[in-house]
Chains A and B, each alone.
Chain A
Amino acid sequence: MPWILIIQNLRAHKMRTLLTVGSLAVAVFLLCFLKTVLVSLEAGVAASATNRLIVQSAVSLFVDLPHNYQPKIEAVSGVAQVCKLQWFGAYYKEPSNFFAQFGVDTDRLQDTYPEVKLLDGSWEAFRTSRTACLIGVGLSRKFGFKLGSRIPLIGTIFPRSDGTPWEFTVAGIYESKSANVDNSTLWFDFKYLDESLRSGAAEGPIGVGVFTLRVQPGIDPTRVASDIDALFDGGPLRVQTTTEAEFQRQFVTMLGGVPMLLNSIGGGVLFAIVLAVLNTMLLSFRQRFHEIGVMKALGFTDGVAFGVLLIESLVICGSGGFVGVAASALTADTFAAAMSQILPTFQITASTVASGFGLAMLIGLMAGLFPAWQALRLECIEALRAEV
């Protein structure tokens, strides 16, 4: 293959080559971004632990369960440990500064979620102080909270009766080793919330949002789940016990048409870019009409004429793909920080990178084939006769 010819062609039309590489890079970047959003939406489901079950109300995500369900659930055979979780729904300064907060059993959190690792602070401090909290490393980066910082939170579901914000002191900063627990959560003592509600210092429903439980090793989680459901089937409040994956999936399902929307945007991007590259390659072929005739007259085979155009297309798309993938990998952290509220698990994966690059090469193949095939079929005499 006359490589020098291919390189010279690309260099002869620097502007065109650069613009095509640029538009391809932009498209690949966008596709990687959309794919990352889709993958991240599912990340929580994919990373869920198989030995954890969630007990929630069968009626609604917003109906609390009574405290006294905890010992009953614990008594079911195969259950290792049960931890309370209550969604707090408060905000820091402005409603737009939203992040997840949960009231939990402080002495059980570590065993229930072994993927939560402390980077700073201690479990001991978290367990002993009533107003202590653990925060994710993402929150610490975003808001600058440090060990010992006091975080005022304005209650929405649970406002304090005197109208003041709740205040929590950071006793530890964690990092999660798995995507099912995000790094933007604040955990605090369930007892603090419960006592405030009972004493009238705060208002809101008294109860437990969900119970998270660990199943003993070697026990079938499905059997445990149906045993728990059966326990409360007669009411007054029926429960629905699911694996952590199913629990996470309900939030993905809630998005309704969003994944489909993102997919169709991706389709539109793909369509536009295939047309753009095809346009470039056709222009390239048209301008080289004469040249191909000369090549053939000099004795280069049809195969070489075919190869030159196809490889040109692949080189353009390969470099565009490379730039696009590199750009999305380099900006991933910025996007992750910007979207930490809506998509705390935003993270670009190796398979996204690979598919982005693969797609670019596929576009190169598709856009290069037609002009290359025309070059292959071109009659030497006809090409030489043509005016440029």
Chain B
Amino acid sequence: MSPPSPTTPRPVLTPRLDKMLVALYEVTRFVGRFFREVLLPPYEGREIIRQCYEVGVRSLPLISLTGFITGIVFTNQSRPSLAQFGATSWLPSLVSIALVRAIGPLVTALIAAGRVGSNIGAELSSMRVTEQIDAMEVSATKPFKFLVSTRVLATTFMIPVLTMYAISVGLLGAFLNVNSNEATSFRSFISEVFNTITFLDIFSSLAKSVVFGFTIGMVGCYQGYNSSKGTEGVGKAANAAVVTSMFLVFIEELFSLQIVSAIRSF
């Protein structure tokens, strides 16, 4: 412990760069702490299930609606282009590829960032502000494990599940649209879909949503757990949780695109 310095320390690089590096270090430490604590007992099984319910079941209505409408709209908007080549029979293939590879994981992640991320950020941050996290700390109950590990695990498990669900609902919307316009039967629609999608498509989509889920949970928890400045901090944490996780989800999407393309070209 160093004695208090009367003036703020001189920046090593530039003040902004210093701040960024410190933040990066803090985030790395936070993520590292998650992996350390998640592996060690005791395991908060009940709380993990409760959080999974919060993240998964309570997001169902919103995911159902957005997935379904996206399926309908995407199919409908793609039709004219395909119709120019007389290729509307390709619609099921086109839609399934788009939904599985990109739209499903992305839409689910963005909705979850808005609904779940902000929720986590606001809840943890208000617990910090009202000293509830300190209260857990002083009663030797490991608040990090109880609050952070459980939530990050819940989002990491549930976002892939929600993604698969969103894809299914989206395909249902697409089928209804195709059925009413081209009179395609359910059987031929489904066989068309599964002829198109490969194992790699589904696997990469799942892997991607695991990463999205981890990111959303981690960012929400980091912002909430480390917030300060009273009630103003609560709003800031919720906001930062959404903005940061959405930003990171897009960056990750870009990376996954590169990685999967590389795998495909093998």
Partners in one complex: no
Q: Using a CB–CB distance below 8 Å, which chain B residues touch chain A?
A: none
Q: Using a CB–CB distance below 8 Å, which chain A residues touch chain B?
A: none
